[in-house]
Amino acid sequence: MECLGCRIANGVEPNLHIIWETELVTCVLDIAPFHEGHTLILPKKHYWDAEEMDDETAHAVMDTSIRLSKVLKQLFHPDGITMCQNGGVFNDLTHYHMHIIPRFKGDGFSWSEPLFPHGAEKHLSETRDQIAKVLATG
């Protein structure tokens, strides 16, 4: 297996901290956690982006994220949980993975503003219409 994500998801990579596994997904502790309990959910089959996943795998990822969120809240008492996934060129693992991150007020985790303002907020109606049209036509 050349893909690091596939090796992690299938337990081939050494020194993994696997916390949960099903026939479709593997959950491992992030090796550079933002907070204690920071977990990655990886499908065992190779996918780069979310839209490539079959429905069964996508549901497994979401079901697992809910289960983990409950456990992390119980164990670490965070102020909230952030669930996120980076796609395309921003997927540094080149294998779909969802982060489940316990969060605390003032922890420094942020959603940043764009470096270069683009004015998208001025076109919300047009953007809505474009997206709705494509969704309606499939």
Q: 91: Cβ–Cβ under 8 A, 6 or more apart, which residues?
A: 48, 49, 85, 97
Note whether residue 43 is domain-resident. yes
**Is residue 130 a part of any domain in this protein?**
no
User: What are 5's two structure tokens?
Assistant: 């994500």
pTM, rounded to two decimals: 0.89
Residue 67 lies in a domain: yes
59 occurs within a structural domain: yes
Are 92 and 25 a contacting pair, CB within 8 Å? no
Domain span holding position 97: 4-112
Q: Which residues of the chain have pLDDT under 70?
A: 1
Residue 15: inside a domain:
yes
pLDDT given for residue 1 in this prediction: 66
Report the domain count for the chain. 1
Q: Supply the mean pLDDT for the chain.
A: 93
Query: In CATH, what number is assigned to the domain containing residue 75?
Result: 3.30.428.10
C-beta of residue 44 within 8 angstroms of C-beta of residue 34: no
Q: Is 77 part of a structural domain of the chain? A: yes
